[in-house]
Amino acid sequence: GQQVMQIPQYQHVQEGEDFTTYCNSSTTLSNIQWYKQRPGGHPVFLIQLVKSGEVKKQKRLTFQFGEAKKNSSLHITATQTTDVGTYFCAGSGLDTGNQFYFGTGTSLTVIP
């Protein structure tokens, strides 16, 4: 069945350092979405990637979709305390019945 894994599971960084989380799928994805969940909150949509090799930027956040459409990454430059939370990728494809399946998430802690 569909497997969407994320690494690392936890990451602690000093404020100002960069952060990257990786999302890997066992099968080819049609789309991938990224969400952020603040502690005690609910997931909030960040972005969707559709094309092979696509790169999108939102201020300090850079999102990439792999050429084979089986992996994706989220990179945050110069982290701030407001970046704290858990980042989830969610992939969908023919193998998932076009339903989005969420990755295991990466919990980011930013140390001031």
Partner 1 sequence: KAGVTQTPRYLIKTRGQQVTLSCSPISGHRSVSWYQQTPGQGLQFLFEYFSETQRNKGNFPGRFSGRQFSNSRSEMNVSTLELGDSALYLCASSLWHKLNTEAFFGQGTRLTVV
Task: Give the residues lining the site for partner 1 (CB under 8 A).
Answer: 1, 30-31, 33, 35, 41-45, 48, 50, 88, 90, 92, 97-105
Smallest distance, partner 1 to C-beta of residue 55, A: 18
Q: Is 34 helix (H, G, I), strand (E, B) or coil?
A: strand
Between the two ends of the chain, the Cα-to-Cα distance in Å is 41
Nearest distance, CB of residue 62 and partner 1, angstroms: 19
3-state secondary structure of 82: helix
CB nearer to partner 1: give 42 or 59: 42
